[in-house]
Amino acid sequence: MTPTDDVHAQALKLARTYLGQDDLNGGWFDLGGSSLDAARLVSSLDHDHGWKIALQDLLAAPSVADLLTAPTTSAGAPVTADTPSPVAAPAAGGADALWPALARLSADERLALAHRLLGYVLRESGGQP
């Protein structure tokens, strides 16, 4: 789905809510955002508006505002400098083998998996992250 101006406006409103500030001219983490809130934003955009944005694109974008107001491809994904792959693989590391499977999951499924993994980490560490 190609987002409408209203969907862009809702995306910006949600991002401001999750980040707790009006200024979205910076990267997600630079603006104080958490990966969990980023996943929530991506999931909400997908679930409530049918707009699929890759979590990695949101986290890597130099400007949240620019990403959420950018023109989109016919599939609805924001057009970025490296748009060829809708879900780019991580550069290196142990996650490389799992990335193709994770990329096929919906945003809701990835969020549920993240919750389960966090619960496991907290249990195993005695409640210490």
**pLDDT at residue 80 is higher than 90:** no
Phi and psi, residue 36, nearest 5°: -65, -45
Determine the Cα–Cα distance for residues 84 and 82; give it in Å rounded to an integer: 6
Quick one: CA dihedral 94, 117, 41, 51, positive or negative?
Answer: positive
CB atoms within 10 A of CB 14: 19
Q: What is the mean pLDDT of residues 91-119?
A: 68
**pLDDT at residue number 107:** 77
Q: What is the mean pLDDT of residues 7-27?
A: 92
Q: What is the mean pLDDT of residues 56-71?
A: 86
Phi and psi, residue 42, nearest 5°: -60, -45
Q: What is the mean pLDDT of residues 97-124?
A: 74
Q: If you ran DSSP here, which 8-state letter would residue 51 be given?
A: -
More confident residue, 3 or 81: 3
**pLDDT at residue number 83:** 44
**pLDDT at residue 79 is higher than 60:** no
**pLDDT at residue 94 is higher than 60:** no
